[in-house]
Structure 1
Amino acid sequence: MPASVSKKTAGLSVRAYIGDAKTLLAFDMPKAKTKNLVGFTIKVQPEGQTPYYLHNTLTFASPELHAQDTKQPPGSSLNAPFQKFRWLHVPGSIHQGLQPFMGMYTYTVTPRYVDAKQSMQPLDAKLSVSVKVPVQPFELDGLQLGFTRGYVQSQGFLNHFGPKALIRPNDKELLFDTSQISGSNAAGEQYTFEEEYSWLGFTARQRVMDLLDEVLADGKLTVDVFAYDLNEPTVIESLIALAKVGRVRVILDDAALHHDKAMSKPEDQFETLFTKAKKSGSAIKRGHFKRFAHDKVFVVRKVADSTATKVLCGSTNFSVTGMYVNSNHVLVFDDANVAGEYAKVFDAAWDDDVSGPAFIKSPLSGQIFDFKLSRKITGDISFAPHSPQVANSVLDEIATRIAQEGKNPQGKASVLFAVMEMDNGTSPVYTSLSTLHKNQKIFSYGISDNPSGIALYEPGKSTGVLVTGKPSSTILPPPFNQVRSVGLGHQIHHKFVVCAFNDDNPTVYCGSSNLALGGEQANGDNLICLRGEEVATVFALEAIALVDHFLFLDRYAKKKGQKEPLKSAAPAAKDAAAKAVKWSLRTTGEWAEAYFDSSDLKFVDRQLFA
């Protein structure tokens, strides 16, 4: 499976980047072809399924003056083309409901033009370009990836679940029936927590549940668990079921966030349930190294000889927030060597009662574990906590790799990232990422819940973008619906950095580490480096999706003294309001000029992706 597929004609080229159950479509054309261009129509054909056109929230101010197919909704890109040179498609956002088709997809992209009267002409199929790619959970050479969809702050979430959707029942019970009704959407359609969780948890949830189901179904397997936050009901039910048959060991964080004398925390409640249920072979230990037992890991082993066969790791906590609100990732290594190294770490922590000082003295803390899954995927892993010297060395390597991108030719260098916090703690990585957007030699596109400052796109400038995943209350212009806030919790819980995703030496840093010196010296964590174009592309698409989304929300963050808009309005009222603020599609090719202005970030964007 390549990282991307492309096709080109004299008037249009289309490149489709393959992500984790998503596709980034990037377009290019000679500048002369942009005269009278009013966007791109995108038709989607899932193999063996009903085709559809991707949806655009924006429409023409006067649709009746343009070629329109009345059988399609006004927002169909057949009627309202996209005025961008790339578009990300995630199945299930608008079409196909909560369980979208996974498999081969054909995307047909057609440039759309207006005549001398600025009226869009009917679609001309002779101008179309089609590409065919797999749209499915990412798996390659013994590595599976998974990502939460999250996006409770999105139009897609509102469309499916409405503005008042519950993330968990109000009674706050640790265990609850996820098949119970959670709520209803604007159309009056009811949905369950299970349906909501499946959509929000997306492929990350699928990876977690698949692994637990595999162990439950095979009496010859057992699982060792590192957990930090732990309150997801289906995960807990699976772990309790394994405890009853003596096939699970758990190391669970007991820092103040997760433990008190009254045993009232969700993790304490889990410990009580686990202890009552466990049979010989199952056991639980609480601990926090020097500060937190911050790993989120399942190690699958054979009962017969304790040989490790598979490991799940990443940034995703096994909690309702971690799997359904936060933006997170998981990795599953179906590789005995990698799994074996995680098993050594678990055994060392278990034998030393989750002691930070003891682990730091072990070879596991001071060494970097190198692995090679195939010629397409290599990498290394470090396991914290570390000594100060090792912690500095590990993070300096990432900062150095980021700096190397500045030496690449302009138009080739890129750093894309999603890092939970960047202004809380000391880190050479934070320092590098916080100022990266100022370097015009690098295409930088990043997001953090707590950046030291934000840098939005400015027309005519090629400086990078740095946004926050937690904008203050947004006031979106019509025709967009207002979105909810994540409150005091995190939106961005990822900790990944991607360098040169489509150039030489594509590299990803990811895992549970917060990429800060304090955490690397005090927390139980794992920091993974992956090298390979396919895997780097997958992480790059996640960064692009997040930055694009929150770049829009950040631009409309509520300003002091600004009044809240009406929470909802009828479609006709929203259309009228959109016209009033002139928030509609352009009827000339002027919108495309920035993509051919060498001083503009959109020019760099078009060159890099298309």
Structure 2
Amino acid sequence: MRTSAKSFDGKLRVTAIAGTRAVLIALDMDDGERKGLKGFAMQRSKAGAPPQWLTGMKVFKSLAPSTVPAGKSMHFTTDKNPIQSFLWSDYEAIPATEYSFEVSAMFGEPGNLQPRHVASFKIKTEAEDDGHHGVWFNRGAIASQAFADHFGNKSLTDAEYNDPANQEVAWLSRGLVEACLKYIDETPKGDALRVVAYEFTYQRVIGALKAALKRGVDVKIVYHDTSANNKAITIAELSDDKGGETILFKRTRPQTPHNKFIVRLEGGKKPVSVWTGSTNFTASGFLGQTNVGHLLTDGDIAATYLKLWEGLKENPDPKTALASAMALSPNPSNLIEKGVTPVFSKRPDDHMLDWYGDRIKDAATSTMFTGAFSVDPKILASIAARGPSMRFVLLERPPTKEIDKAVNDNPADVSVSYGAILGKMQRKKQVQQKTGKGADGKPKKKWVPIPKFDIEKWFVDEELERQSGDGFVFFIHTKFLLVDPLSDDPLVCTGSANFSGASLKSNDENMILVRGDTRVADIYATEYDRIFRHFYSRDIANSIADQGKVVNFALLDETDKWSDEYFAADSPKSHRRMMFFADRSKSWSGKAPSDASPFSATSRRGRASKPGPSKDRGRGRKKVVKSAAVKKKKKAAPKRAAAKKSVVKKKKSTVKKKKSGAKVSRVRKVAKRKR
């Protein structure tokens, strides 16, 4: 939900966006009105309850307590220690709940602040599932002050990971695992579930599917044939077949069969919905790194996914997989129809990266992008290109030199955030080898404190290392791109595929392109903002400390100078402030139709084609092409033979001339010597 408000005198303006579990509040004032501004105080109430001051973790130095409680981070009410930012979010919201907010611009001196401009508004958070789109994000921030406060950085055992009543699991899941299990558990006898899994080790999910089988649900599972997956299946005692029908279908190709989705069939025949997203069926997928589950209740889209499943269960070779993916999801037009457009991999080339890049360049106000390990050059070129929009990039690890250059060349419009722990960094000269692997399959290093950071002065120690079923420990696993998410015509691209050439040309993947759904965009945008700013603040503080400088991370500015960068012409904070108050009618869809298609040079197999049985289409096309080629070859044979004879004759003639010329030359030389 979106709303706007302003103070009675019109000098304080508010734009508010509610997702499911976060309410984003953007603020604006005229430059001339901020003299003496010390920040903003916020109150929140719900269901007629008395309002409460929201709290922050920053404090005026003159009001700071002389002692800090051990093992607990401090929180201060915003009426005394206001928010010194024109962007704030409430991350404690509950889905489908109406809230009342009051925002006050505070002036005066610390200890004696007074509200001058006050704006009030009501907003209702979105339901997690509206019957068409259901969206759930997990916490995705194990290394945080909140986690340290609530659970003291306690590691979970395997038994605790699989305990439905465990509070730490529920806090980390934030509704994600519960939604997936509910989808399975509420499937009644007589219905069917068709599952595709890349990593398939979480016992709660396997157990739910086993229970569904027992109550009469027709369950069939396609999964990656790995030792970890097979071990988990053995532990769960999930049978290969039931009543003579195969239940488990192993995938041995490609190297990365990266799909993860579940299709539900009503009455065992009619596809009605599909669960998709970035979340692997593992403990770390649901409870560790940032992930999203997306439930789409749409018969047509579910039917398309079912056809994809039918092909994948055959463990197809690359050619068959390519033909099936392209038949089911032809290359999209620049301006896709409103609604949902699926895009499956394997594809013949990586031109979809150009398509994503073109949409980034088309953006009117903003794009928000997540990349697990880096940013493909095709997409980075679009992010780096100057334009009217801001570009936000959220990464698993610190940016490459190329990404840094894109930021340095356009610092006002390109911002990067990456996974981090407050007060700790990864550097080879400081680290020790860790048993286990990271998101990219490479060995991980331990995180060590930054010297002289003095984190304990204001904050509790954050910790990332977690025991997990597969040994993976990392930050960002979501794969989505938001184009003009604040507009009236947003584009959300989300699914299992990393935005890379390998994800398009080598892997099995699925993505959905959602156009024009502001509710879906609001949920994704508020969650993106939550994760982006969580890590961004840590990136900045760690960078300052790593340079040996003093980190005033917890202290508020006691003057009004803090707001200068929010009004400087070349400042990213100034551009971001204006971004939330831009004309919502302007979006990427205005430019997209005039762009050249990135697929114009795509091979025949990659062009848009009518859906049909993938095997027949693949074989039929191959025969037709082969037949045409043979006929062409036969027809051209006489011409080629004649041309060959002509060339031979010319060569012989040339040789004769050369020999004749050489003979004449020798005769002349002999005659000359005789004279």
1:446 and 2:393 matched? yes
Shift of 1:31: 2.1
Shift of 1:219: 1.2
Shift of 1:177: 4.9
Q: 3-state DSSP class of the match of 2:209?
A: helix
Q: CA–CA distance in 1 between the matches of 2:95 and 2:161?
A: 29
Shift of 1:136: 4.2
| Higher mean displacement: 245-254 or 482-491 | 482-491
Shift of 1:417: 1.4
1:222 and 2:172 matched? no
The 3 A distance-change label for structure 1 pair 212 and 293 is same
Q: CA–CA distance in 2 between the matches of 1:147 and 1:395?
A: 25
Q: 3-state DSSP class of the match of 2:542?
A: coil
Q: CA–CA distance in 2 between the matches of 1:327 and 1:81?
A: 30
Which of these residues, 183, 202, 205, is aligned with residue 235 of structure 1? Answer: 205
CA contact (8 A) 1:502 1:537 kept: yes
1:54-453 maps to which residues of 2 (within 5 A)?
Answer: 54-63=54-63, 75-91=76-92, 103-114=97-108, 118-124=109-115, 127-140=117-130, 142-163=132-153, 165-166=154-155, 168-169=156-157, 172=158, 177-178=162-163, 194-215=166-187, 218-244=188-214, 245=216, 247-254=218-225, 259-260=226-227, 265-270=228-233, 273-276=236-239, 279-280=242-243, 283-304=247-268, 306-350=269-313, 352-362=314-324, 364-365=326-327, 367-368=329-330, 378-388=339-349, 392-405=350-363, 408=364, 413-422=365-374, 428-433=378-383, 435=384, 439=386, 441-450=388-397, 451-453=399-401
Amino acid at match of 2:484: A
Q: CA–CA distance in 2 between the matches of 1:561 and 1:122?
A: 35
| Higher mean displacement: 551-560 or 139-148 | 551-560
Shift of 1:393: 2.8
1:477-556 maps to which residues of 2 (within 5 A)?
Answer: 477=455, 478-486=457-465, 489-503=473-487, 505-532=489-516, 533-556=518-541
Shift of 1:493: 0.3
Q: CA–CA distance in 2 between the matches of 1:209 and 1:348?
A: 25
The 3 A distance-change label for structure 1 pair 402 and 122 is closer
Amino acid at match of 1:452: T
Q: Among all aligned residue pairs of Structure 1 and Structure 2, give the percentage whose two residues are the same amino acid.
A: 21
The 3 A distance-change label for structure 1 pair 356 and 465 is same
Q: 3-state DSSP class of the match of 1:16?
A: strand
Q: Deviations over 1:275-323 (max 9, x none)?
A: 448533560111043222211111111234x111111101111111111
Name stretches of at least 5 consecutive residues in structure 1 with no aligned partner.
66-72, 93-99, 180-191, 564-576
- Report the counterpart of residue 597 of structure 1 in structure 2: 568
Amino acid at match of 1:428: K
Structure with bigger gyration radius: 2
Q: CA–CA distance in 2 between the matches of 1:129 and 1:279?
A: 63
CA contact (8 A) 1:349 1:355 kept: no
Shift of 1:506: 2.0
CA contact (8 A) 2:479 2:496 kept: yes
The 3 A distance-change label for structure 1 pair 558 and 38 is closer
Shift of 1:421: 2.1
Q: CA–CA distance in 2 between the matches of 1:104 and 1:504?
A: 22
Shift of 1:381: 0.9
Amino acid at match of 2:125: V
Calculate the aligned-residue CA RMSD, in Å.
3.3
The normalised TM-score by structure 1 is 0.79
Name stretches of at least 5 consecutive residues in structure 2 with no aligned partner.
66-73, 427-446, 467-471, 582-675
Q: CA–CA distance in 1 between the matches of 2:267 and 2:246?
A: 12
The normalised TM-score by structure 2 is 0.71
Which of these residues, 468, 474, 489, is aligned with residue 418 of structure 2? Answer: 468
Q: CA–CA distance in 2 between the matches of 1:156 and 1:44?
A: 20
Amino acid at match of 1:287: R
- Relative to total residues, which structure has the larger helix share, 1 or 2? 2
